[in-house]
Structure 1
Amino acid sequence: MLDVERLQFLDLYSFELRLDYFEKILEYTSSSYSFYWLEAILNLMIYKDTIEFDEILDEMISLAYEDVVEKGYHLGPLIHQKRTNALENAILSIQKYLPENCSKQEIIICVKQHDEDLKEYKKLLIMQTPYRLLSSFLVDVGGNDPIWNRPKDIIETIKDYNEKYRLPYIIENDRGLKRRVIVQPEWRDFLMTNYRVIMEWVHDEKIKYLEKRKIEESAS
Structure 2
Amino acid sequence: MKVDSNKLSTILYSNKLDVKKFENLLSNNDQGYKFFWLEAILKLIAQNRQLFTFEDVIDEMIVGAWRMVTYYHLRLGHTVNGNAENFLEHAIRILYECSKKEIGNKTPSKDRLMFLIKKYQDNLMEDKLHLTDYVPYRLIKPFVEKEGKEYIDRKTYGRFIAYLNAFTKANHEFFYDIVDAKNPLMRKIRLNEEWVNFIIQNYAVIMGWLRFNKALFIQDRNPGVPGVMYKVAPETEEKRKSLKNARELWIATVDVTGRPLYEIYTGNELSIDEFDLDHFVPRSYVSNDELWNLTPMAKNLNSSKNNKLPDRRYIKDFVKYNYYLYSLIFANDSKDQAAILKHYFDRCENQHLNAVWATEKLYIPGNTEEQFRNILEENLSLVYDSAKLQEYEEWVI
User: Deviations along 1:70-107, whole A, 9 cap, x unmatched?
Assistant: 12221121123332111111101111313332222221
Note if contact 2:175-2:191 (Cα within 8 Å) is conserved in structure 1. yes
Extract unaligned runs of 5+ from structure 2.
226-385, 387-397
1:194 aligns with 2:190: no
Distance 1:162 1:202, change over 3 A: farther
- When normalised by structure 1's length, the TM-score is 0.87
User: Deviations along 1:106-147, whole A, 9 cap, x unmatched?
Assistant: 21121112112211111000001100100122212445x486
Distance 1:152 1:104, change over 3 A: same
Question: 1:24 & 1:83 partners in 2: Cα distance?
Answer: 27
Note if contact 2:8-2:23 (Cα within 8 Å) is conserved in structure 1. no
- When normalised by structure 2's length, the TM-score is 0.50
Q: Counterpart in 2 of 1:214? A: 222
Give % identity: 28
Q: Counterpart in 1 of 2:52? A: 51
Partner SS for 1:182: strand
RCO higher in structure (CA 8 A, sep ≥6): 1
Distance 1:21 1:162, change over 3 A: farther
Residue among 170, 174, 188 paired with 1:180: 188
Superposition map of 1:73-84 within 5 A: 73-84=74-85
Question: 2:193 & 2:167 partners in 1: Cα distance?
Answer: 16
Aligned residue identity for 1:170: D
Larger Rg: 2
CA shift, 1:161, in A, is 5.5
**Once superposed, which parts of structure 1, at least 4 consecutive aligned residues long, lie more than 3 Å away?**
2-7, 157-165
Aligned residue identity for 1:109: F
Aligned residue identity for 1:212: D
Note if contact 1:169-1:181 (Cα within 8 Å) is conserved in structure 2. yes
Distance 1:215 1:45, change over 3 A: same
CA shift, 1:29, in A, is 1.3
Superposition map of 1:100-119 within 5 A: 100-119=106-125
Q: Counterpart in 1 of 2:359? A: none
Aligned residue identity for 1:114: Y
Extract unaligned runs of 5+ from structure 1.
none
Note if contact 1:53-1:177 (Cα within 8 Å) is conserved in structure 2. yes
Superposition map of 1:65-214 within 5 A: 65-96=66-97, 97=99, 98-99=103-104, 100-143=106-149, 145=150, 148=153, 149-160=155-166, 163=169, 165-175=172-182, 176-214=184-222
How many pairs were matched up?
212
